[in-house]
Amino acid sequence: MTSIAIVGAGYMGRTHAAAWTELDCEIVYVCSPSGATLTEAPGAQGVTDITTVLADPAVDIVSICTPTPTHRDLAVRALAAGKHVLLEKPIALSIGDALAISAAALASERTLMVAHVVRFFEGYRRARDDVDAGALGTVLSARARRLITKPDTAWWYDESQSGGVAVDVGIHDFDQLNLFLGTPIAVTSRSNDELGPIETTVDYASGAIGQVLTFADLPVGAPFTTSLELIGTAGLLDYDFSADAPTANETNSGVNSYRLATATGSRSETLSALDHYTRQAAYFLECVRDGTDPAYCPTASAVLALEVALAARQSLVTGETVLLEERA
């Protein structure tokens, strides 16, 4: 049985623990400053020092679910100790830290995956499959939105800890835009409030244009809501999701609809209510057991999404378009 250590006992720590438990993995440690245990990890030992976790040869995987500024230190230490690492997004708050984590994974020959869980939502998975199959032809534009209630975690409101709305929330959709549109070259954001709505336009080297609407101040009790629209030379794709509760889990879905329209016909369906966190953990576990890189969710994509998110935050501050560095 694969042994897991959860680092961080907050909302994401509980979420990761529930996913690993669903997969019948053994959670042996929960590490947090308080040493608290989690009901989602029955039998796990609560510890306050990650050194205890990393020194135990029985630990195979470390799930890091802590505030983003801690990611570099924790991930680099875990990889150096020979552990596989599932790291919550964003990968870091600076490109330098992100690249250091990536380099540590390469040097360790262990598996690292940044938990961009949106890639495992059924609607986004379906969109990726259809685009990869050529159903839309060349994708010309993408429009995404993500609307949430205010997080109830105090540290999240400190931008030096969370990166702010554009980085912590918007990064999900920047990752999707990059996936479908390619190499981003310029980012322009505007908002009249720090919690949004934030409107961001991303220009791509191909000439494609992406737009993201991000809002983190829905009324308490309002459903988590997200959507994706892709327009291509051969068709149109729409995905809409909202939850019956203010959580981002498909098992609570109120709306979970997908539509593809092309010259040869259209397809509309209501998608199955599945737990994307469990699917994410299952995919990572498969990569670890097979000794393969997580090609479905590569580290380079997490770094690129961070670059766009940081540019969006900079644009909000300066009121100007931010040009991204050219890439070979």
CATH number at residue 18: 3.40.50.720
Pair (225, 82) in one structural domain: no
Domain that holds residue 66: 3-115
Q: Is residue 91 in a domain?
A: yes
Position 252 scores a pLDDT of 53
CA angle in degrees (0–180, nearest 5) for 165-72-53: 115
Q: What does the pLDDT profile of the chain (328 residues) look like in tens digits?
A: 899 999 999 999 999 999 999 999 999 999 999 999 999 999 999 999 999 999 999 999 999 999 999 999 999 999 999 999 999 999 999 999 999 999 999 999 999 999 999 999 999 999 999 999 999 999 999 999 999 988 888 778 888 888 999 999 999 999 999 999 999 999 999 998 877 799 999 999 999 999 999 999 888 888 889 999 999 999 999 999 998 654 555 455 578 999 999 988 999 999 987 789 999 999 999 999 999 999 999 999 999 999 999 999 999 999 999 999 743 3
What is residue 192's three-state secondary structure? Answer: coil
262 C-beta neighbours (distance < 10 Å), count:
16
Pair (56, 157) in one structural domain: no
Radius of gyration of the chain (CA): 19
Pair (265, 145) in one structural domain: yes
Q: Which of 89, 115, 141 is the last residue of a domain?
A: 115
Q: How far apart are CA 116 and CA 172, in angstroms?
A: 7
Pair (74, 220) in one structural domain: no
Pair (110, 20) in one structural domain: yes
Pair (91, 212) in one structural domain: no
Pair (107, 166) in one structural domain: no
Structure tokens at 223: 């459903």
Pair (125, 266) in one structural domain: yes
Position 251 scores a pLDDT of 53
What is residue 265's three-state secondary structure? Answer: strand
Position 328 scores a pLDDT of 32
Sign of CA dihedral 75, 76, 77, 81: positive
Q: Which of 98, 115, 132 is the last residue of a domain?
A: 115
Q: Which of 238, 281, 285, 244 is nearest to 257 (CA)?
A: 238
Position 327 scores a pLDDT of 39
276 C-beta neighbours (distance < 10 Å), count:
21
Pair (124, 253) in one structural domain: yes
Query: Under a CB-based contact definition with an 8 Å cutoff, are residues 186 and 320 in contact?
Result: no
Position 240 scores a pLDDT of 96
Structure tokens at 301: 């994509």
pTM reported for the whole predicted model: 0.94
Pair (38, 122) in one structural domain: no
Give 169's contacts (C-beta < 8 A, 6+ positions apart). Answer: 146, 148, 214, 216
CATH code: domain of residue 154 = 3.30.360.10
N-term to C-term CA, the chain: 43
Cis peptide before 197 (omega within 30 of 0): yes
Q: How far apart are CA 212 and CA 113, in angstroms?
A: 24
Q: How far apart are CA 123 and CA 268, in angstroms?
A: 12
Count of domains forming the chain: 2
Pair (139, 262) in one structural domain: yes
Residue type, 303: V
Q: Which of 27, 30, 25, 1 is nearest to 13 (CA)?
A: 30
Pair (66, 34) in one structural domain: yes
Q: Is residue 284 in a domain?
A: no
For the chain, what's the residue count?
A: 328
Position 244 scores a pLDDT of 67
Q: Which of 100, 115, 130 is the last residue of a domain?
A: 115
Structure tokens at 11: 């909302």
